[in-house]
Chains A and B, each alone.
Chain A
Amino acid sequence: MDPRARRLVTSGIDRALAALDYRGADLELARADAIDSARSRLRAVRQGTAIVRGSRIVVTARGHAELRPFERPLAGAGEVTVEVLASAVSAGTERAQWLRLPNAQLDPPYTPGYSGAGRVLAGGDGGAGFEAGSLVAVARLPHASVVTVPTEWATPVPDGVDVAEAALVYLAIISGYGVERAQIGRGDPLCVVGAGPIGALAHRLATLRHPGRVTVVASSRRREAAAREAGADEFLTAGEDLDHVQASTVIEATGDPAALSVAVAAARPGGRIVLLGSPRGATPSAILADAQSKRLCLAGAHVSALAVQARRTGGDPIQALARSFLAGLAQGGLAVADLAGEPLDPREPQLAYRRLARGEIAAAHFDWSRLAQAQRAARRSPASRPALAPARPRLRAPTQSRPARDGGRRLRFALIGCGDVGMHNARALAGAGNAELAISHDPVQALAAATAAEGGGAVAASLDEALDPERVDAVCLCVPHDLHTPLVEAAAQAGLQIVVEKPLANDLVEARRAVDAARRAGVAFSVCFPYRYERPMEAAAALARGGALGALGGAAVVFHADKPESYWVGGFSGRAHSDWRSSRARAGGGVLIMNLTHYLDFLWFVARAEPERIAAVSRSRPGAEVEDSIALTVEFRGGALGSIVGSASTRGAPGSRFELWGELGTLRLEPDPAVYTERAIGEVPAARWCALPPPSPADPRTLYFERFAAAVMEGRPVEVPATDGLAVQAFVDAAYRAIDEDGPVTVAPPEASERPELRGA
């Protein structure tokens, strides 16, 4: 295609992809996928076959890999299509590529991989000797769930051979060529430098040629047992004296330029060194000088030279090496289960490569059977809609089951305190399917009348009347913080189930008194943290518990509000005139206890984060008792670090921020809730930002009351126990102590009874 036509096609594709919401790097990757897909379709049409859709691992940028859909034509003449079951990881080379070591620098995007094995899905020209469903090993195979390759790349797998072991075929070809180049004579002393997959395979294949004494040299003793199991007479590490080895042949299989000096030291004068490992960098000339002094012979053994050999001789040395390897497996003379290594999930390639880079994986293969069939190998018409990775992955909203507002039993609530949040809770109860507002009470009777008008039920003139267990089952306390505990005690004494608006109390001592009172009375006691029931928050908690974050690394919270002056004398609505919010004794504090407590609860709810040490500073408005802004630095148990900042007077109130991150992923809860994780969890694609479900149309407070009521009526523990509120109160208490003491404070672990989930109580 001429450059002008190419530009026209590319710009047309880009416009179409932009209309589908692809942007930036995603658009570039989608364009590459679309062009690749179009080529496959064109070939399929020309040869009159269908296409097959699968998934492949793509290194999309430095340090970034993901599983992406792709398409290939089904086999044409001289080809075979294979549904891959296992693809071998060449640990040394793929690690070098991931780390971009010298001579291993591929430009993203690229699909790594070497070889694999799987079932024949289709063979052109009558199958070319391969029956559909039969097992074949395929050399030069990328990490993909399906491939269409020339038939000469595939070799039948004899019965009884494990598919993950057969998947090593290309590594065995590479190693086998090195052994051929070694020209090992029966009884000749042999040394293999390197005990990774290539070195180990070379050692095992060389053993079939009956060498004399075999010495294996490696960088550590980690693989000594495997080497000795495979017949090594001696196992040395690179730092040990090698002069006694005197090998006729040394196979250098590490690719480390410095390791060539080890090979030179281990070779006898006039001996032969096979360069099997691809050198990752320039070789010091001093090593070559030493080799010259010993009159050694260096024999390069890269698999690409086999193709040259095949052209010159007219044979197929690659196929011959593959058949020899597979026969060795079938006959039992060759054992490679340890080299097939651990099965990796191909949906989590970034995690796999990061582990490989950290040296945590010695040998492994991708297990493609973990993918659903539709992702693995699905036949499609060339006229079907192309498979592209979604532009903006989004987690679907789960269905939230809610009780119907029918004639079933409802938990009857008394609402005590009918100011700002009281009105919110009255409306929430009015929308609940299994709970109802039965009584409203407030010292200002007009406020109670207003909530009753909004949420239903009667108005009680006195507290005793409101807490009458004949008329109500439960109480919802929406009063100034210093009144929480006395009213909890009164409600508990009346035998009512209890909901208290957050925070649990105005201080930790009062909070503990409240919990004790409810426990003694045997009534359910919950703190109203309704935002746990926002869909994004529920999804985040489920993902974190499913391992999306791994070990928690940190948390960042920035809360902004722009509270008007009137707030301090009447709340946001101005319905109830009172200055309790500005009193340290009554409210317990300012923006931390009033607003940030939701976030402190989220830290526990989503990530099970408990503070261990806290440092804090705060500022108050002139003349005010409570803080207007606060900044906390937190060390959580387990070592995660957190920064929590809140301000009640941020002009313009820009959006807040809330992020949690761990060793495997990140959760962004505000703004634009989304997850990025290296784990494949449910519908979340690994290593791509995926939006969390949008908020539920239902009021989260209504959901909170419904779940509380259901738990109480079914005799189950409530989902937001007061002990969670107690933990938040301890967090707040420690932060205020840090301010008062002007230095960091340690937070004592909660009592067993205060954290039953953690302590197993």
Chain B
Amino acid sequence: MPDSLEDVLAAVAAGEPPIEVSGGGELAQRLRERLGVSGGASEAHPRTVVETTGTVAEVQRALERVDDLGTVVLAGAPVAPDSTIDLYADAHVRGLTVIAAGPAGEARA
């Protein structure tokens, strides 16, 4: 659980609704409560996705899910450093804003 839940919420404020929170952990649940959003992928293309798992696969999925010009808030721990991620098709071409708002520290294995 990050100490900086408020930081994540501040980052989310930079985006626009509708908001989707990915992941099923405690952080995700607390964020959903605070943001008043339900679980699961309800919107076809949310304007903001808050990614809480910190895995490369879920970060990639969040980039794909979010609408053009949308915002992805990375609320989880830093991703594992031994993989790759495609920043071209979504983050670059579709003009996304990716905000790192999670805790610094160890990456997820």
Contacts and interface: CB of A to CB of B under 8 A. Distances in A.
Interface stretch (B17-25, B32-40, B98-106): B98-106
Interface in B55-71: 56, 59, 68-69
Given A103-B88, A286-B82, A305 B68 contact: yes
Contacts of A294: 100, 104
Contacts of B100: 291-298
B80 A278 contact: no
B6 to A, nearest CB: 13
Contact of A298 (B68, B97, B102, B105): B97
Nearest to B93: A302
A275 interface: yes
Contact of A305 (B85, B86, B93): B93
Contacts of A285: 56, 79-85
A705 to B, nearest CB: 70
Contacts of A296: 100
A583 B40 CA distance: 98
A279 B97 contact: no
Contact of B95 (A278, A290, A302): A302
Given A288-B59, A293-B104, A283 B87 contact: yes
B91 interface: yes
A700 interface: no
A292 B95 contact: no
Contacts of A289: 78-81, 107
B27 interface: no
Nearest to B99: A297
A620 interface: no
B96 interface: yes
A304 B104 contact: no
A292 B104 contact: yes
A275 B94 CA distance: 11
Interface string A298-320: 11111011101100100000000
Interface residues of A, number: 33
A282 interface: yes
Contacts of B90: 300
Nearest to B75: A292
A308 B95 contact: yes
Contact of B92 (A278, A282, A284, A291): A278
A663 to B, nearest CB: 35
B2 to A, nearest CB: 11
Chain B CB within 10 Å, residue with most, of A278, A292, A298: A292
A304 B86 contact: no
Chain A CB within 10 Å, residue with most, of B69, B83, B90, B91: B91
Chain A CB within 10 Å, residue with most, of B88, B94, B99, B104: B88
B50 interface: no
A279 B81 contact: no
B102 to A, nearest CB: 6
Contacts of A301: 92, 95
B28 interface: no
B12 interface: no
Nearest to A309: B69
A293 B78 contact: yes
B93 A304 contact: yes
B87 A284 contact: no
Nearest to A284: B84
Contacts of B59: 288
Contacts of A312: 69
Contact of A300 (B7, B80, B95, B99): B95
A300 B91 CA distance: 5
B50 to A, nearest CB: 14
B93 A308 contact: no
Given A289-B78, A289-B107, A305-B68, A283 B85 contact: yes
Chain A CB within 10 Å, residue with most, of B69, B83, B93: B93
Contacts of B99: 297-298
Nearest to B100: A292
Contacts of B98: 297-300
B74 interface: yes
B97 A282 contact: no
Contact of B94 (A282, A283, A292, A302): A302
Nearest to A104: B88
Contacts of B95: 181, 299-302, 304-306, 308-309
Top-3 shortest CB links A-B: A305-B95, A286-B81, A282-B84
21 contacts: A257-B87, A275-B87, A278-B93, A279-B87, A279-B92, A283-B84, A284-B83, A284-B84, A285-B84, A289-B81, A289-B107, A292-B74, A292-B77, A295-B7, A298-B87, A298-B98, A298-B100, A301-B95, A305-B68, A305-B94, A309-B69
Given A283-B86, A288-B79, 15 more contacts: A181-B95, A284-B81, A288-B85, A289-B78, A289-B107, A292-B79, A292-B102, A293-B100, A293-B104, A293-B105, A294-B100, A296-B100, A297-B99, A298-B97, A300-B98
